[in-house]
Chain A
Amino acid sequence: MSFSFALARRLPRFRRPESGGGWMLAAALIALAVVAPLASLAWSAMDASLAHWAHLARFVLPQALANTALLLAGVGVLVTLLGTGSAWLVSAYDFPSRGVLGWALLLPLAVPTYIIAFAYLDLLHPIGPVQTLLRDLLGYDSPRQFRLPDLRSLPGAVFVLGFVLYPYVYLSTRVMFSTQAASLLEAARTLGTGRYGVFWRVALPLARPAIAVGVSLALLETLNDIGASEFLGVQTLTVSVYTTWVTRSDLAGAAQIALTMLAIVVALILLERHGRKRQRYASTQRMRPMQPRRLRGAAAWAAVLLGWVPVLVGFVAPALYLAVETWKRLHLVGGVSDQLLAGAANTVGIAAAATAVTLACGLAVAWAGRAMRESSRPQPGRACARIASLGYAVPGTVLAIGLLLPFVLIDRGLGGVLEALTGHAPGLLLMGSSTALVIAYTLRFLAISTGALEAGLSRIPPSLEQASRLLGETGSGTLRRVHLPLLRPALAASALLVFVDAMKELPATLLLRPMNFDTLATWLYAEAARGTYEEGAVAALGIVLAGLLPVVLLARTDLKMGQRQARPGARAAAAQDPEPQKEYRTP
């Protein structure tokens, strides 16, 4: 073809190979920002005189440690029972409503711990609907003659936390049962193990790593919780950190307790890593899903009853309560207050800002990791990604205490510079505005976007990038024209998760919000703390409804692993599904 083409070489021909240095720098800075609060915690804690520590060690820590340990132990047992039990029930048996129950068991994930505590405090109040009904049925007429044990206790906290956190165990165990177990269970049956024996002798040992992963996630949430423990009067480590700083303005003391919490976090992460390692080992072979056994008659109805209890307690009852209370409130007042609307607007605005920043940072970290992987020295990129995902394990209260010092320093430094330049003091730029919250949310939820985008990038074969480069596109042009369009599902999914998590966030928000700035979560917290219960239900219902969105997403992707078929003929179907195991490779 004699065809002189308009694509003349316009760029300089010779250049040193590029190294992705800019991306790496960005990733390193982000990793540094994640480490900064932890370093500052250690610094603040050392700043204390020993008198502080002696006081803490004598009067605060023993009680708080004991409460936290008991709470973690209790929640751990309860979520293991509920999560593993329900996962086995829907995996091994077929009964009416099994299909719906399979995803309904995830619904409690939509209810934050402080909201279920808020709801049950009222539901189970001595003169609340449940106890009144019980007394009517039993023929008593006064709370003095009959009442249930007070919810405001350690067992009460275990109860409410366990019923909203068990889905972590359910999810990991269920996936394990449905992808792994079938042939092993059948082998055990042919070797003479009974139907119930296989659960104890094969299924449960097989699921142990998955249970460990789920339990450690549930316990990290327990450690993170501040609302439920405080409403129920359980003085945990988290509550101690909060009160030490807020009521006694003792940063050093708060940092010391926070460091104690970090030690527990490290233990939980190790448990999780251990579980994951064993899980990876177990899942090298792909197996058929289990064939559930059909239950009939009374057994079927017992399974239905048993299966729906966690859903009823963890989601239906509190959600129904919130809906009824909201309806009553709207009916009575005919609307919601301007302050609540302002709080809702704050929540959405700040969650949106945090989502945008978190996605951008996650993309930088994931892209730097990929660029480094292609080069000869992959370690730094991988290290940045690992460090950047640490924030998710750090309880919000601990993160906030760790951020106080850096924020104050930055505010002082920036303020000084600006004052020298403009002649008047700008006030507190970070702490005085919601910027501090956006940064805290970003550090805490970065793992979500980094993880999703790393997984998304790893499914895009390197040949696509090479093809683009050989067709004349630059590195960043390739990111824009090839990778970003292909990452759209991963970006959308992680945006949703981050947005909703930021909306629900309470512990860090309580500590870092500017004066007179409320989100739906802090609004609810304030009402519950005052015991006024006016518009709290409205705020809580809003959070729960938003929280349902990621649960739907989770039910669509994670639970259906391995059961999904490609939809033939769908346009660009390859680019639409956030499916974990899909590859853009042609066979």
Chain B
Amino acid sequence: MTAPNAATAHLELDHIRLGYDTPHGLHTVVDDLSLALERGGIGSLLGASGCGKTTVLRAIAGFEPVRAGSIRLDGAVLSSPEVQVLPEQRRIGMMFQDYALFPHLSVAANVAFGLRRLDKAARARRVAEMLELVGLRDAADDYPHELSGGMQQRVALARALAPAPDVLLLDEPFSNLDVDTRERLAFEVRDILKSTGHTAILVTHNQAEAFAIADHIGVMAGGRIAQWDTPYNLHHHPADDFVRDFIRREALVEQREGVFARGR
């Protein structure tokens, strides 16, 4: 394991348990999950749908209460059974699977949404800067529905980064795009995140995406992380049979997808 230890960690999930209440008590979705990311590190949770990876993301964002353990940022507790900082006070940004762009606001107004505490001039400067960063300077006055999927996705990235969050969460952000765009954008997003120095976590079921973006990948199954490691180690030193099978099967599926996409 090459994860940074707790002393240098920026974002830290410490033995968290997540779940929801049912008439028969707590239904546990994620149990005893730990991970740590250093400042500027990019992590990825990789797993099939239903493995609990999105629940983890929602808990980091503050939409999901933590039943045990804690989530800490720079050592300060964001979530624990006793404490839950409101989502709007966490300084955590998120890119949603459906992008969640406000349909009634222009691109520029979407990006400016989280910048209310800046004065007008500073806000305009920041919006211009962010649109420049994602290469959408000319689309400032367009409305979300007038843009292609890839462009909408960049707007979502610009909007999430505009208030300079401490951590950026990405929830299957490429799943609505076609295969070729997907890979190109994944590398682009990595470049942008590395240039801004953001700590980020990507949740995905697609191995190519995870390998394209992340420094560390956690392979998830049944609400636990089977292995948290670098892409290289996952490939060459899988911790157990499950991880090895998962990586191999996924790689096969992706090859096939790639062939289909090019064949069309």
Contact = CB atoms under 8 A, between A and B. Distances in A.
Interface stretch (A8-16, A129-137, A354-362): A8-16
B15 interface: no
A267 interface: no
B164 A5 contact: yes
Given A3-B164, A17-B86, A572-B104, A9 B91 contact: yes
B5 to A, nearest CB: 25
A5 B163 contact: yes
B84 A16 contact: yes
A587 interface: yes
Contacts, number: 127
Interface string B96-119: 111111111000000001111110
Contact of B113 (A11, A12, A471): A471
Chain B at the A interface: mostly helix, strand, loop or mixed? Answer: loop
Interface in A474-514: 474, 481-482, 485-486
Contact of A9 (B77, B89, B93, B102): B89
Interface string A458-475: 000101101111111110
Given A376-B21, A587-B176, A473 B113 contact: yes
A586 interface: yes
Contacts of A586: 98-99, 101, 144-145, 149, 152, 176
Interface in A7-48: 7, 9, 11-18
Q: Which of A17, A472, A482, A572 has the most CB of B within 10 A?
A: A472
Interface residues of B, number: 52
Chain A at the B interface: mostly helix, strand, loop or mixed? Answer: loop
Contacts of A467: 94, 96, 100, 102, 159
Contacts of B2: none
Nearest to B147: A586
Interface in B126-182: 143-146, 149, 152, 159-160, 162-165, 176
B159 to A, nearest CB: 7
Nearest to B21: A376
B11 to A, nearest CB: 15
A584 interface: yes
Contacts of B87: 466, 469-470
B88 A572 contact: no
B85 A14 contact: yes
Interface string B39-74: 000000000000000000000011101000000000
Given A466-B63, A481-B113, A575-B103, 17 more contacts: A5-B164, A15-B86, A17-B84, A377-B21, A461-B98, A467-B159, A469-B86, A470-B114, A471-B114, A471-B159, A571-B143, A574-B104, A586-B145, A586-B149, A586-B176, A587-B149, A587-B176
Interface of B: 20-21, 61-63, 65, 76-77, 83-94, 96-104, 113-118, 122, 143-146, 149, 152, 159-160, 162-165, 176, 195-197
